[in-house]
Amino acid sequence: MNRISALLDGKRVDRVPVFQFALGFCARNVGYPIAAIYQDPEKSLQAQLWSKEMYGWDNAPFYGYASYGSWEFGGPIEFPSSELQQAPTIPYFPVQSEEDIKGLKLPAVKRAGMLPFAMEFSQLQKRLDLPITVVVGGVFTLAGNICGVDRLCRWMLKKPELAHQIIRLSTDHILDVVQYWGETFGAERVIPYILEPLAANQIISPGQFEKFVLPYEKEAHEKMLSMGIKHILCHICGEQNLNIPFWEQIPMGNPGIVTFGKEVNLATAIRHFGDKCIIAGNVEPRILQEGTPQEVYEAMKQCVIEGKDSPRGFIAMLGCELPPMAPPYNVHTMMKAVNDFGRYS
Amino acid sequence: MTSKERTREIIKGLYDAVVAFDEGKVVELSHTVLNESVDPYVAVVDGLASGMSEVGDRFNKMVYFVPELLLCSDALYAGLNILKPAILASGGKAAVKGSIVLGVVEGDIHDIGKNLVKVMFEAAGWTVHDLGRDVKLQRFVEEQAKTGSEVVGLSALTTSSMLAMQQAVHMIKSSNPKTRVLVGGAPINIDVAKKFGADGYAPSAGTAVAEAARLVKH
């Protein structure tokens, strides 16, 4: 039984499904360098499929990373070269000044940055009849990856027109990518993954969210859905409590999947999103790396108990990426807790 | 000689301009300090630095967020750039509260948090030796030894790079057991800080200075 597909189709499942946001961990798990997950679509898919089989996770493999945007808009990207590096990073940003924005063009989606890798990965997903996913944005995080979040923050207050300009480009780029995926695979098969950690209240205020994120994110989601996309997975990472009234206004599909970090408790998430979205979250990733198996078991048990009766369904998940260096036994223990407490009668 | 009332007015103006992230006003008032022979040291401590302390409080209370904090720090530095040379030229010396070596550990290039911490320490009168980001662990040891800093501050954003912290703490302590190590960053909490052997933990940029001051006292 594909539990996550069943929830998306509005069907009942036998137990809470598990979405493991695991990339570097899968590479290490099968003996590949972490960079292989991001640079080699075939190895990336293998590593994720083998790890899924080994641990019993429910989600399909996916390709992408949070620092998406720099490379695609003409800047650099660095792939992990040691075990201390978790994911690709941006050594410097393609937009360093107001002048740079003037020369900024929307990337050609068939050629830019990592998109050829992502397309190759999605072709493999299609060949294996897996859900087709594409990781892009959100609008604010993508903008921050183009010009640097500190520069974006300064512009929001000092030169808001520049901030709007760059977030506009981010929004249009996201829509270009999703349209390309939709045309290639059929929009109804594609699930866009929106990652929006930089829009958290650790960085911006709810007022700034309302002004600089809400209109663009809302437009992007509405247009994706009008293309025929059925479900959007939106990873609302970090402290987002003050942004919740705005996130609620953004359509996610029917149902969407909204995934939370530890900062938003599951009762709050269910109260605001449970009637229209599948809720996913929210065990702190650090516990998987630093905690004892008992602590992992207890944390996942609480998570499953709190979330499992959410009206449109619940997915057990960490609040963000599974640490690549997490002890394998802790990952096993996480699954054990879901199997022990996540069953539906 | 500027009257006490005028001096208070100028210093209050500097304080307010930092809090309002009005860089232009800070520049204007800093020149006024020099033109009207107000003590530049007092202007820095009671005006600029005191304003930045209020900014830190507002950040802790989620009244201010990173955009405001960045612009306040720009205003602070604009004033310091004008007033610090005057303090040195007059033979005056800023009372240094302490010295800290600061950096983002090896494997991690996310430095916005570290940069905010740096501002708060500088505003509070500490000497900051900023090693930047993705810092080889031995560099923390070397810089502490070279500068004799009482505190080393380590930052990390990812669960992978945070693993370097434990090793860094060990290396720093092995080189100089009296050095106090302060850690911070998204995946860190007080339990992890203790597990890694750090002396202190700061959950935010706004709390780091107070925590470092506490460590130095003990």
CB contact under 8 A, A150 and B108: no
Q: Can you give A227-279 as a three-state secondary structure string?
A: CCCCECEEEECCCCHHHHHHHCCCCCECCEEEEECCCCCHHHHHHHHCCCEEE
Asked if B45 reaches chain A (Cβ–Cβ under 8 Å), the answer is no
CB contact under 8 A, A286 and B192: yes
DSSP B64: S
Q: For residue B106, which residues of chain A lie inside 8 Å, CB to CB?
A: 82, 84
Instruction: Pick from B158, B191, B194 the residue to mutate for testing the A interface (most A CBs within 10 Å).
Output: B158
Q: Which residues of A209-233 are buried (b: 16+ CB within 10 A; e: fewer)?
A: beebbbbbbbbbbebbbebebbbbb
Q: Which residues of A118-148 are buried (b: 16+ CB within 10 A; e: fewer)?
A: bbbbbebbeeeebbbbbbbbbbbbbbbbbbb
For residue A91, how many other CB atoms are within 10 A of its CB?
12
Q: For residue B22, which residues of chain A lie inside 8 Å, CB to CB?
A: none
pTM (2 d.p.): 0.92
Average pLDDT, chain B: 93
Q: For residue A201, which residues of chain B lie inside 8 Å, CB to CB?
A: 62, 65
Asked if B112 reaches chain A (Cβ–Cβ under 8 Å), the answer is yes
Q: For a pLDDT cut of 70, what percent of chain A falls above it?
A: 100
Identify the pLDDT of residue B206.
83
What the block records as the tokens of B155 is 């930052």
Closest CA relative to residue A209, chosen from A243, A174, A160, A159? A243
pLDDT tens-digit series, residues B12-28: 999 999 999 999 999 99
Q: Which residue of A has its CA nearest to B196?
A: A290
Identify the pLDDT of residue A345.
86
Q: Which residue of A has its CA nearest to B186?
A: A238
Helices (H) and strands (E) in chain A, counts: 16, 6
ipTM field: 0.94
Whether B92 shows a pLDDT value over 70: the answer reads: no
Identify the pLDDT of residue A103.
85
Q: Do the beta carbons of residue A22 and residue A51 sit within 8 Å?
A: yes
- Cα distance from A80 to chain B (closest Cα, Å)? 9
Q: How far apart are CA B88 and CA B91, in angstroms?
A: 5
pLDDT tens-digit series, residues A248-290: 999 999 999 999 999 999 999 999 999 999 999 999 999 999 9
CB contact under 8 A, A86 and B187: no
CB contact under 8 A, B67 and A154: yes
Q: Which residue has the higher pLDDT, B127 or B94?
A: B127
Closest CA relative to residue B103, chosen from B124, B129, B141? B129
